[in-house]
Amino acid sequence: MVAVVLSLVGLVSVPILLSLAWSGWARKLRGELPRWRSGVSLSALLVLSLHWSAVAVLELPVILLPQAHRSAALMEGMLTLSHPLDVVVVGLAFALRGLPRLQTVLAGLLMLISWPAGYV
């Protein structure tokens, strides 16, 4: 039961944190940071957004229709990439500053601990 609650919290809170981090980066940090650091920040936000989107595409059909089945090959690929992607994102997120850094690191850590624990 705890894993299900943690997974659902991750599924809901990661996009909220990401949207806040994206808006903070776009409004303030993009112009202030050096080009290389802004590019690394963009990479962290983009990789985490794509990772969450892929997890949502895999998990939402199963949440909405419990009798639905996941593709085994697709799940195996996602499980292989999931944790390394999250670790890389957390490392890249340190290129950000201020609140967007905290939001991105927190979102990355939530993805790290909440999936593949399951969402269901």
Q: Can you give the residue ranges of every domain in the chain?
A: 2-24+34-114
- The predicted structure's pLDDT at residue 69: 76
Structure tokens, 110: 């939530």
- The predicted structure's pLDDT at residue 67: 79
Name the residue among 75, 73, 72 with its Cα closest to residue 119.
Answer: 75
**pLDDT of the chain, 120 residues: tens digit per residue:** 676 677 778 788 999 999 999 999 999 888 899 999 999 999 999 999 999 998 888 877 777 777 777 777 877 888 788 889 889 999 999 999 999 999 999 999 998 888 765 544
Task: State how far the Cα of 109 lies from the Cα of 102, in Å rounded to an integer.
Answer: 10
- The predicted structure's pLDDT at residue 1: 64
- The predicted structure's pLDDT at residue 23: 95
Residue linked to tokens 């599924």: 11
pTM: 0.85
- The predicted structure's pLDDT at residue 98: 93
